[in-house]
Amino acid sequence: MEELGQLKRAGIDAVAGAIAGGISRTVTSPLDVIKIRFQVQLEPTSSWPLLHRDLYRPSKYTGIVQATKDIFREEGLRGFWRGNVPALLMVMPYTAIQFTVLHKLKSFASGSSKSVDHIHLSPYLSYVSGALAGCAATVGSYPFDLLRTLLASQGEPKVYSTMRAAFLDIVRTRGIPGLYAGLTPTLVEIIPYAGLQFGTYDTFKRWTMALNRYRYSNHRTTRSDDSVSSFQLFLCGLAAGTCAKAVCHPLDVVKKRFQIEGLQRHPKYGARVEHRAYKGMYHALRQILKAEGWAGLYKGIVPSIIKAAPAGAVTFVAFEFTSDWLESTLT
């Protein structure tokens, strides 16, 4: 019976995680496409650096508003959801694995499989559990992340007409290891990112619960409720997503560069990342710093944070509500 209960719990976490990830990814896809276009552009992504350099280098995208207008004019509304299918194929198993592994780790650390007991874990264990869950989810879904990046960054005219065409070309030109190009910086990124996201979310949630208890204790009421409202959950997720993305963005830029090595986009999108342009993660960081300055490591940071904040908020709220609904339905 206990084993059946654990399987049921894992199923609830997996389904709720997949649904939450799918909703969040679809809602924030336009910002993700803009972010990727910025990250894979070797030229400056704002007009200011261009005016302060001896050599003027024209850039395809120089700001969020300009990029939005260009993508809409050249590719239509569908352009903002380019690569969304492989993104969903990546995000849904990613969040399913992530929340399932996270619950298992927290259950082990707290000695209880009840979610209500997990909130009392120490911040250190929350961060470690989140980091390990993020690593497991990344390895399990990475090829879809790479395909999503290729399809979202190619622009018009298309290099790959379908996800299948992209998959076959990668296997043919780079082999199976090509499906995991950029995995090392991704894992290096996901450890602090997932740790910060889940750790800060738990921390903000604990603070909110304490604030609710304090508020009710200062009012003449028999109610002593520390439950967190959906709006408060949204704010906790918003803050967690912002903190995590702000810290880890440079590694995301490096990952994207590895993923699009050799992609022959139209010249109007600027210089392309040549095949084997970077020997490794640290070499890539040095090369980007040398050629593009510190701003190069933060290309796409504005749409990234604008996307990460609501994405984190929607993911956590959707997961908690879906998980509670499934638990009440199946019990």
Which two three-digit tokens encode residue 310? 């609501």
- Are 219 and 138 in contact by the 8 Å Cβ rule? The answer is no
Decide which of 313 and 283 is more confident: 283
Which residues are CB-contacts of 273 (< 8 A; sequence separation ≥ 6)? Answer: 40, 42, 257, 260, 261, 262, 263
Q: How far is CA 323 from CA 17, 103, 182, 234, 243, in A?
A: 8, 12, 33, 16, 25
Query: pLDDT tier at 69 (50, 70, 90 boundaries)?
Result: very high
The dihedrals phi and psi of 207, each to the nearest 5 degrees, come to -60, -40
**How far apart are alpha carbons 159 and 265 in whole angstroms?**
7
Instruction: Indicate if the pLDDT at residue 79 is higher than 50.
Output: yes
Question: Virtual CA dihedral for 87, 92, 94, 95, nearest 10 degrees?
Answer: 130
Angle at 324 between CA 320 and CA 327, to 5 degrees: 140
Instruction: Indicate if the pLDDT at residue 5 is higher than 80.
Output: no
Instruction: Indicate if the pLDDT at residue 1 is higher than 50.
Output: no
**Predicted local confidence at residue 231, as pLDDT:** 83
Instruction: Indicate if the pLDDT at residue 51 is higher than 80.
Output: no
Which two three-digit tokens encode residue 1? 């019976």
CATH class of 61-109+121-180: mainly alpha
- Are 194 and 98 in contact by the 8 Å Cβ rule? The answer is yes
Above pLDDT 70, what percent of the chain? Answer: 91
DSSP letter, residue 160: -
**How far apart are alpha carbons 199 and 177 in whole angstroms?**
32
Mean pLDDT of the chain: 82
Which two three-digit tokens encode residue 42? 């070797």
**How far apart are alpha carbons 87 and 151 in whole angstroms?**
10
Q: How far is CA 30 from CA 105, 171, 249, in A?
A: 33, 28, 18
Instruction: Indicate if the pLDDT at residue 172 is higher than 60.
Output: yes
Question: In angstroms, how far is CA 71 from the centroid of its own chain?
Answer: 22
Instruction: Indicate if the pLDDT at residue 168 is higher than 90.
Output: yes
Instruction: Indicate if the pLDDT at residue 313 is higher than 90.
Output: no
**How far apart are alpha carbons 145 and 92 in whole angstroms?**
11
Q: How many CA atoms lie within 13 A of 108 on its CB side?
A: 9
- Are 274 and 262 in contact by the 8 Å Cβ rule? The answer is yes
How is the chain split into domains, by residue range? 1-41+303-330, 61-109+121-180, 182-217+225-260+270-298
What long-range pairs does 224-228 form, CB within 8 A, spacing at least 24?
A: none
Note the helical H segments in the chain: 2-39, 47-51, 64-75, 84-110, 115-118, 123-153, 163-174, 183-217, 230-259, 281-292, 294-297, 301-330
Closest C-alpha among 173, 142, 141 to residue 160: 173
Cβ atoms within 10 A of the Cβ of 136, count? Answer: 19
**How far apart are alpha carbons 223 and 282 in whole angstroms?**
55
Angle at 12 between CA 232 and CA 81, to 5 degrees: 70
pLDDT digits (tens, 9 = 90+) for 211-270: 888 777 766 554 455 677 878 888 888 888 888 888 888 888 888 888 888 777 777 777
Packed helices 2-39 and 64-75: angle between N→C axes, nearest 10 degrees: 90
Instruction: Indicate if the pLDDT at residue 102 is higher than 60.
Output: yes
Closest C-alpha among 13, 39, 14 to residue 273: 39
- Are 101 and 136 in contact by the 8 Å Cβ rule? The answer is yes
In the numeric block, the tokens 């508020």 are attached to 215
